[in-house]
With several copies, the nearest count.
Chain A
């Protein structure tokens, strides 16, 4: 087996294939399951069905039903089971079909998985991954559209990844599986099929806690997470036309948080927008904006500004739902205002 490459930086040039975000995740799982027999996937309809999003489709054929395990609709039960299994030598990858069901497993994740290492004075380890989805605009309404990554990001003992590209999704998930701590990975549902990108053939991981500059620029920093990275890149293209050179920075993990890269970008550009798809209030943007405002205060031209999902439960009707999630126009309008253009 060749050595794993460690790619803190976004792949530049080495990749030859364009694959989808979902394919990248499936590859990550398959490769890690081949590499390590203690890795297994557990969740609802993960085997033959490959989840409703088909993202793990095909794994059961290669690894069988003992390593791709269909469960009852018992999110708390099987997540907690995974915690125990992780303590006893396995590396479970738990599939939470809709991130909204994080509500059902917070005790297992927060009171158990996150704290066991610490409470035991470092004696027990909980090497497990929870893959959950996030993202709205699929007309799935209030209980199937939330992006709840702010919650685990708040909890010491957890790491949280929110990949935005196939490259990141694969590299972060592989790193998460090899990590000896519980890691929650939020995958954007819309990106599964929609976002394609270069992914190298060879084995690589992306260390957790390293931000990536998705686009360099000098006038304004747009710190964007998950689905919002595509929005930010789209906005950057539009801004370019009117002479605003935006830098797009993707933290890739909310915890650990690569404060240095974020702050340095803003020190350079002196303006910053933070955009995230989670609920706006008490969410991810508050922390990131505060970190930047503290770290780059004296370089800032004006306050760090934030965009997030509207402070409403996600509605079903398309014109309403579309009004809840930040889009390119919102980013462009705010950036223009901040740059006085």
Chain B
């Protein structure tokens, strides 16, 4: 069967698959450019890259509607893009420009956008957990069927408010999904030094449905998320997904000398064997749903789009200093 024929046979799923592939490639390309902007001292603040974890944001957000909600973290570029943010306004925000999503007031750690249901990246670890729960609460009270997804790193398992949130969500059967990205490190500390017991039990103890997923496999992520999202949307209550993954880079761009907390070999093993883009690309090709050439072309397209977005952001002006007093009060 030709690729076209196979694609036709697979129908809508192929479109979705290619959309997810493109989404992961876009995040990777975005983050590479953020890295570059940062190292060239064009991006102020800190840059926490999502490279290596793309399958999670993409697989989960592919299961969401545009009007569904997400909350994100300090490592939030991937979630924001996957939920529909456009790269030029994101880069502009990363550079602190007036054209950015938050008029330059938020920066990398605070991208927010009502139009795509993005309640905001959040620089307080665990900070999104109550916000997502609250959006789910509003959805239910307003008789909507919008679902809220709370993305967080396994570090947030240390914040008690997460348990308060899960308890409320389960008590009130709220349409919220807690997605724990266990990339094995909180900053410079291995999660085994910070996490006693067993992660999924921390959700099932409160009665939540829970599943553990290979976070490098976008198909697995998407399948699990779809199930949980539909369940929540139906009114069957909150869910918890433990995503096992890995942060390919440092905690932030400046975190270079990392041997004191993790080995080069470990990093290389993950990058070689467990790259979510390579895994999914390989699958697409082996299933005959796309050929290497097409994927390469897609990557080039994305690269061009990202380069243009970077140019847009670089050329965009900073906000006037007097804007500082605006937007404090609504």
Contact = CB atoms under 8 A, between A and B. Distances in A.
Interface of A: 38, 40, 44-45, 48-49, 52, 66, 70-74, 76-90, 100-101, 107-108, 111-112, 116-127, 138-144, 156-157, 159, 180-181, 310-313, 315-320, 322-324
A168 B136 CA distance: 34
In the A-B complex, list the 3 residue pairs whose CB atoms are closest, starting with the nearest.
A84-B134, A80-B130, A77-B164
B157 interface: yes
Given A120-B110, A121-B103, A85 B141 contact: yes
B232 interface: no
B107 A81 contact: no
B40 to A, nearest CB: 15
Contacts of A44: 186-187, 189
B134 A123 contact: no
B226 to A, nearest CB: 22
Contact of B195 (A45, A72, A123): A72
A66 B126 CA distance: 26
A85 B141 CA distance: 9
Nearest to A159: B329
6 contacts: A76-B164, A80-B161, A84-B71, A85-B134, A124-B114, A143-B127
Nearest to A97: B187
A122 B330 contact: yes
Interface string B155-172: 111111100110110010
A76 B320 CA distance: 36
A312 B133 contact: no
B97 A156 contact: no
Contacts, number: 270
Given A80-B130, A140-B45, A318 B96 contact: yes
Given A71-B168, A73-B156, A84 B124 contact: no
Nearest to B141: A90
Given A121-B101, A141-B110, A315 B324 contact: yes
A198 to B, nearest CB: 30
B81 interface: no
A317 B155 contact: no
Given A77-B167, A81-B168, A120-B106, A316 B120 contact: no
A85 B168 CA distance: 13
Contact of A112 (B127, B138, B164): B127
A335 B256 CA distance: 45
Contacts of A320: 96, 104-105, 319, 321, 323-324
Given A310-B325, A323-B321, A73 B126 contact: yes
Contact of B130 (A84, A116, A143, A312): A84
Interface string B300-311: 000000000000
A119 B321 contact: no
Contacts of A111: 124, 127
B139 A74 contact: no
B233 to A, nearest CB: 15
A156 B156 CA distance: 27
B76 interface: no
Contacts of A87: 119, 131, 134-135, 138
B44 interface: yes
B142 A119 contact: no
B327 interface: yes
Contacts of B142: 38, 88-90
Contact of A141 (B109, B326, B330): B109
A142 B107 CA distance: 10
A49 B112 CA distance: 31
| Residue among A79, A84, A310, A312 with the highest chain B CB neighbour number at 10 A | A84
Contacts of B148: 84, 88
B171 A324 contact: no
Nearest to B260: A48
Nearest to B330: A180
Contacts of B97: 317
B137 A319 contact: no
Nearest to A80: B130
A26 B280 CA distance: 48
Contacts of B260: 48-49
A101 B127 CA distance: 11
Given A71-B194, A312-B325, A122 B103 contact: yes
Contacts of A116: 112, 120
A84 B174 CA distance: 13
Given A80-B165, A317-B107, 12 more contacts: A48-B260, A52-B187, A76-B160, A77-B164, A84-B119, A101-B124, A111-B127, A112-B124, A119-B112, A121-B106, A139-B96, A312-B324
A5 to B, nearest CB: 23
B96 A117 contact: no
B135 A85 contact: yes
Interface string B184-206: 00111100011100000000000
B328 A311 contact: yes
B298 interface: no
Contacts of B193: 70
Given A49-B189, A73-B126, A84 B138 contact: yes
Contacts of A318: 44, 96, 318
B168 A73 contact: no
A263 B282 CA distance: 73
A122 B160 contact: no
Contacts of B189: 44-45, 49, 70
Nearest to B155: A73
Nearest to B191: A72
B106 A48 contact: no
A72 B158 contact: yes
A116 B100 CA distance: 16
Given A139-B44, A318-B96, A82 B134 contact: yes
A317 B105 contact: yes
Nearest to B190: A70
